[in-house]
Structure 1
Amino acid sequence: MRMIKVANAPVSFGVFELSDAPPPLTAAEMVAAIAGAGYDGIDLGPIGYLGTATDLAGRLGGLLLAGGWADLPYGDPDGFRAKLPELDATLDVFAAAPAADGPFAPRPTLGCSGSPERFARPGGNAPGLAPGDWAGYAARVQETADRCRERGFEPVFHHHLGTYVETPQDVERLLELTDVPLCLDTGHLLLAGGDPVTALRDWAGRVGHVHVKDGDTKILDQALADGADLRELMGRGGFAPLGEGELDLPGVVAALRDTGYQGWVVIEQDTLPGRRSVERNIADQAANRDKLKELGL
């Protein structure tokens, strides 16, 4: 499986774009921990955390840039237009990353904001996108993808709990209406009622990036019962260390092998800052890397 490289991401340490809390560790400390655990790459995290267009390459410590979150409110036409300059700023940073060829070029990971605060429609409390809104939503996703391609980057779309593209049915609809490759996130799909192994096989021709994370449906069920939001689910450990949730990790690796997937696998274990110690986060990400190594990845 030499055509797969494995990365980690700042969100595994509680550092992510939608949090205003101070980072629990410096970028240099995170890079050292990820490189020391045997990862090949890292996701970008909040713009500026790993550096800017002038100093990003020097701060990656030999790691490659695997991708990075680009958040746009596709459900809000005016808000979408207003945030396009932020996408351009993200792509400016991508352009400063160390060169990587073919499937290992960094992927702009298109995320969706401006969506329901609650999550997991299998639990019954997220409304989804109205049928008449799908065409405009998908057109804005397609426009964003084309904008990335004009800059030389092939984007992927990240389905996500608490957004309008959450369930397997949502993903199918978006794939029908756009030509954008999918960032398949095993943890978000699992907790949205999907089967990640089946999805990797069924959507193999459209999977351009893979986020591997585990999920705990018991924690999800309690969070739904409590009326908690997605951030609180993260804080409670809804995304578990690999092997401690319900993800069929051997099945995921087998599906990647059997479908001939080429590109990045990004291990993530979404958490909130301050909920776990830095030392535990570092140990978890080293253990997560070892789990994949044991499976030949």
Structure 2
Amino acid sequence: MTPTPPLSSPQSSPRTPRPSLSRIRIGSAPDSWGVWFPDDPRQVPWERFLDEVARAGYAWIELGPYGYLPTDPARLTEETARRGLRVSAGTVFTSLHHGPAVWDRTWAHVADNAALAQAMGAEHLVVIPSFWRDDRTGAVLEDRVLTPGQWRDLTALTERLGREVRDRYGLRIVVHPHADTHLDSEENVARFLDATDPDVVALCLDTGHYAYCGGDSVKLIETYGERIGYLHLKQVDPEVLARVVADEVPFGPAVAQGVMCEPPAGVPALEPVLAAAQALGVELFAIVEQDMYPCPPDKPYPIAERTRRFLRSCGA
């Protein structure tokens, strides 16, 4: 079923500072600098990303695709520390709905990321399901609807992953619903949460991806608050979203068309999302991500600086 664009309208910039969001820790990620791959000539060098993310006013970062930043913990610690940066999480892609046959390959990938995240003092590992269609070419890789057996494999192996990552590396996995994956809509996210153990599986709510797939972030936080372990802050342009949904544009080309936009121009409004997250009464990372691969090298920094200023005006 094709996702329905959210009906809410873009927010306006706040005129007065909001109450402090004392439990929300703001950061950014290589994604906001157009980084999707470990090595790509269209991406900014990692040194420039670190310089600019610190200059834009962020204290926390994610590792991004494994191999983009230095993977030697000593070197990465030196590079981040001298810029006043700390690491909140690593990120992995998995295809656990394919069952036990993919476990060993998955774990090898996860272990490298988790070990680096642990060495950098992070507490989380963001887990993103694999795409059902290629995010660059749009080629259909598999059926977009999981079978009951695939759902069982997805939930059971995600629980196993959560336990293994916790027991071996002391990290909490936070599973990231994402456009063009099997974990996308309100229905699928609810089904996943209802079928997994809250002690070992939490959610990374990406506000942009959830809106892209028709979801309401505030409603999700209010309904499944105890499962929200991490936030990605992102907005979609509702006009571009309506067009890409109607034309069934794959996610990668949709990003190139500007479906993800600079706050506060898009949806969902971030102030109510942050207020709902603050009301949970727990410490949460809220990492800014504005998908814009590929992009000119001089584009990310001004957006990152304006976004940080906007979030401060929201109290974060």
- TM above 0.5: yes
What SS is found at the alignment partner of 2:57?
coil
Count of matched residue positions in the alignment of Structure 1 and Structure 2: 281
Q: Please identify, of 212-221 and 85-94, the stretch whose mean Cα deviation from structure 2 is larger.
A: 212-221
Give CA deviations for 1:59-78 in whole Å, capped at 9, x if unaligned: 21321111121111112122
- Matched with 2:43 is 24
| Cα root mean square deviation, aligned | 1.8
- Matched with 1:86 is 109
Contact 1:216 1:238 in 2 (8 A): yes
Pick from 176, 179, 190: which aligns with 1:172? 190
- Matched with 1:112 is 129
- Is the aligned partner of 1:193 residue 2:214? yes
Pick from 121, 127, 135: which aligns with 2:152? 135
Contact 1:181 1:206 in 2 (8 A): yes
What SS is found at the alignment partner of 2:161?
helix
| Structure 2 counterparts to residues 4-15 of structure 1, below 5 A | 4-15=24-35
| Structure 2 counterparts to residues 140-155 of structure 1, below 5 A | 140-150=157-167, 151-155=169-173
What SS is found at the alignment partner of 2:96?
coil
Q: Aligned letter for 1:31?
A: L
Q: How far apart are residue 3 of structure 1 and its match?
A: 2.9
- Is the aligned partner of 1:41 residue 2:72? no
Q: How far apart are residue 95 of structure 1 and its match?
A: 2.4
- Matched with 1:267 is 288
Contact 1:215 1:245 in 2 (8 A): yes
What SS is found at the alignment partner of 1:279?
coil
What SS is found at the alignment partner of 1:278?
coil
Q: How far apart are residue 258 of structure 1 and its match?
A: 2.1
What SS is found at the alignment partner of 2:261?
coil
TM-score normalised to the size of structure 2?
A: 0.84
Q: How far apart are residue 57 of structure 1 and its match?
A: 0.9
Looking at structure 2, the residues matched to 244 and 128 of structure 1 have their Cα atoms a distance apart, in angstroms, of 32
Q: Aligned letter for 1:11?
A: D
Q: How far apart are residue 4 of structure 1 and its match?
A: 2.1
Q: How far apart are residue 23 of structure 1 and its match?
A: 5.0
- Matched with 1:123 is none
Contact 2:60 2:85 in 1 (8 A): yes
Pick from 72, 83, 90: which aligns with 1:68? 90
What SS is found at the alignment partner of 1:259?
coil
Q: Which runs of 5+ in 1 are unaligned?
A: 100-104, 119-125
Q: How far apart are residue 278 of structure 1 and its match?
A: 2.1
Q: How far apart are residue 20 of structure 1 and its match?
A: 5.8
What SS is found at the alignment partner of 1:271?
coil
Is the alpha carbon distance of 1:24 and 1:114 closer, same or farther for their aligned partners in structure 2, counting shifts above 3 Å? closer
Give CA deviations for 1:217-271 in whole Å, capped at 9, x if unaligned: 3212222333421101111111111111121112112212222241210011011
Q: How far apart are residue 207 of structure 1 and its match?
A: 0.4
| Structure 2 counterparts to residues 92-107 of structure 1, below 5 A | 92-97=115-120, 99=121, 105-107=122-124
Q: How far apart are residue 90 of structure 1 and its match?
A: 0.7
Q: Which runs of 5+ in 2 are unaligned?
A: 1-20, 136-142
Looking at structure 1, the residues matched to 292 and 131 of structure 2 have their Cα atoms a distance apart, in angstroms, of 21
